[in-house]
A and B are shown apart, each in its own frame.
Chain A
Amino acid sequence: MILITAICVAVTFGVSVYMMLGRDLKSVAMGVFLLSHAANLSIISMSGSPVYNDPEQGITFKQPPLLVSDDAYHATDSEAVAATGEEATASPLNTIVDPLPQALILTAIVISFAVMGFLLALIVVTGRATGTLDVDKLAQEQLPTPSAAH
């Protein structure tokens, strides 16, 4: 599953970069839109297993912000359970997915939605004011540079 997600993220990133390099502002906007999807997809793949214990090094890298009873918490934390893995399923931490990345992408989706609305409106206004959405032509519309002014 991780591999599939990784491939999805990579392809989405690739397509979005390709579209952003296009000359048409509409395709640039689509590229930006896809880019945020790729980012969200990569974040959701971080939810994974909520607790990562490394008994050898004694470090818990990832402790999700879940409120569970102390017993359950220590059940996953203790090295014995990590070694046998039998009682571990009793803890809610081992049966549910870390919910925080989902909260993160909810926020990110809302923000990218709003920004996308702004970008599309900007493109419409730019198209009306300049009569073109071609990036090259917009660049030529630049104000006279110092050399052109003389």
Chain B
Amino acid sequence: MTFNPLILFCIIPLAAGLLCMLLVRQPGLSRMVGVVSMTLNLVFSVALLMVSYLKGPGLIFTTDVGGWPAPYGITLVFDSLAGLLLAPASLVALACYIHSFSSLKPETERRYFHPLAQLLMFGVNLSFLTGDLFNLFVAFEIMLMASYALLSIGGTRRQLTQSYKYVVLNLMASTVFVASAGMVYGMFGTLNIAHLTAIVRHNVESGTPLPTGFTALAVLLLLVFGLKGAFFPLWFWLPDTYYTCPIALGAWFGGTLTKVGVYAVARLFPFAFAQGEGGLAVIMPIIAISAAFTMFLGVLGAVSQHEVRRILAIHVISQVGYMVFGIAVMTPLALAGCVFYMIQHMIVKASLFLCCGVMERHAGTDDLDHMGGMLKKHVWLGVLFLVAALSLVGLPPLSGFFGKLTIIREGWESHPWLSVIGLATGALTLLSMMKIFSYAFWSPEPKHAPPKSNEDIPTDPNRSWVAAYVGIVMLVVAAVGVGVGAEPVFRIALVAGHQMHDPTDYIKAVAPNGVPGVHTVATKSAVHHTTTIPAGEPNESPIIDPTAVYHELTNTAALIGRTSP
């Protein structure tokens, strides 16, 4: 369904960014503009997601930018997957932005922090929405350019010694990405994701061999997105980078940026690049092995660390492993679990980082040896941290549980060894989270003042705490909400999982008249699937019936309940 207001996702942050640029000398006004823009983004994405589910389920909104019809022009596509990631990403952005009012140094804020934050959000929005491979590269660049600047903003010695690594590595990945996008064009004559998917699927279904080098191309793209998403063995840049930047930014980056890389894999690989013989023989094993190492080595790294920021930063990697696990299994249910896990991880991880920011300010350090006794002084901080930490671990009423349950249960049949590693990782996650909690909150207060180890921790004791807590509470409430209200979220995630598994809907929404070169696919899908769902008859879509799949899942859950003690 064509829905041109989708472009607002680009226009709002861009306009707000330009406005903030003009208002750079007035931090108060800039903050206001920023909060309004991010709130609008959040409200718009949530509303659109609800409409897409209620009128569909799984109604896909598209916009042909500039009026050029797909596959010739750039298309923005808002499907369930994009919507489910846009909404929490906007929430995380808003919460971290509000938190930054009380944690960012004033001089950093004056150095164009507000415009850069808006541009970062623009890049993230565009990466989730774009339906074009080259445009995805442009979106990545916008996002990364803003993140380079945000990482080195303020220019402390400590930041500068780390940020060049991030910049150079990402530049390298982007260059490989643009070269592989060019090769995709050389192979298929298209950059449109729907068109590309249609061609690949058509070839696979009709038994025609895919072009030579297709698998190599897929490996190149996996390398690029793996580096951005911090998969094993490409995660080495992450701990140092997220460790050095101001905490509100660390939370934002840790919550959102790696997920953009995972999103690109989740979008492109089930659709096209993991299809065909090469995909099954080469790509899927790589993804599965990478998932295993990412999960397990990530959590081992986290257990071995003794500083809160480092533990949290390395945990990002371990959690990315679960999402990759979901992609590796590649059934609709596992993909739905992957999407659900991404949602909860964005929210929970950002809230943990923000808690860490407040803890650091109380203790003056993030070294666990010099922290302690916080539960007596700051009970609510302890409660918030505990809830967020247990969500991350995945204890039942909280959100992490449902994502892990689905992924591990679905993976049990095809990849049992991965499921075992996933369970072991969960146990170690609990260990490392409890390490933070017991050292920082339960242990007696340290006798000596800590050595000053981090020049980014604000020292001004008169600064307001309100904004910091507002940010944390927003995220923790959302995390609990996703856990307690898992059913509606999971229903939408199931729709997304089905759409990721079977691209017919996506192709039909992007190119209603079929795509050139694959007439057979277009006619076939028109016969077998009705994808334009009449507005008056909800729940009539023949391919996606979330209720049925939901029953399947609840049966699965009941089965697990019976078989395990």
Given contacts A42-B182, A61-B187, are A35 and B175 in contact (CB under 8 A)? yes
Closest to B455 in A: A143
Q: A64 CA to B72 CA in the complex, in Å?
A: 9
Q: A20 CA to B307 CA in the complex, in Å?
A: 32
Question: With a CB–CB cut-off of 8 A, which chain B residues contact A52?
Answer: 189
Let me know if A59 and B203 touch, CB within 8 A: yes
Question: With a CB–CB cut-off of 8 A, which chain B residues contact A101?
Answer: 182, 185-186
Let me know if B305 and A146 touch, CB within 8 A: yes
Question: With a CB–CB cut-off of 8 A, which chain A residues contact B360?
Answer: none
Task: Tell me how far the C-beta of A16 lies from the nearest C-beta in chain B, rounded to whole angstroms.
Answer: 9
Closest to A44 in B: B182
Among the listed A111, A129, A144, A149, which residue makes an inter-chain contact with B160, where contact means beta carbons less than 8 Å apart?
Answer: A129
Let me know if A42 and B168 touch, CB within 8 A: no
Question: With a CB–CB cut-off of 8 A, which chain A residues contact B517?
Answer: 59-61, 63
Let me know if B203 and A149 touch, CB within 8 A: no
A104 interface residue per 8 A CB criterion: yes
| Interface residue range, chain A | 35 or more
Closest to A137 in B: B161
Among the listed B171, B189, B305, B310, which residue makes an inter-chain contact with A62, where contact means beta carbons less than 8 Å apart?
Answer: B189
Closest to A29 in B: B168
B172 interface residue per 8 A CB criterion: yes
Q: How many residues of B contact A (CB 8 A)?
A: 54
Closest to B151 in A: A122
Proximity bits, B67-99, A CB within 8 Å = 1, else 0: 000001000000000000000000000000000
Q: A126 CA to B208 CA in the complex, in Å?
A: 53
**Extra inter-chain contacts (12) besides given A104-B182, A142-B162, CB under 8 Å:** A43-B185, A52-B189, A63-B517, A114-B145, A115-B145, A115-B174, A118-B167, A119-B167, A119-B168, A126-B161, A126-B164, A142-B240
17 interchain pairs, CB-CB under 8 A: A20-B168, A36-B175, A38-B175, A43-B181, A46-B182, A46-B185, A59-B208, A60-B517, A61-B187, A115-B148, A115-B171, A118-B149, A122-B164, A125-B152, A143-B158, A146-B367, A149-B451
Q: Show the binding face of A for B, using Cβ within 8 Å.
A: 20, 25, 28, 32, 35-36, 38-40, 42-43, 45-46, 48, 52, 57, 59-65, 100-101, 104-105, 107-108, 111-112, 114-115, 118-119, 122-123, 125-126, 129-130, 138-139, 141-144, 146, 149-150
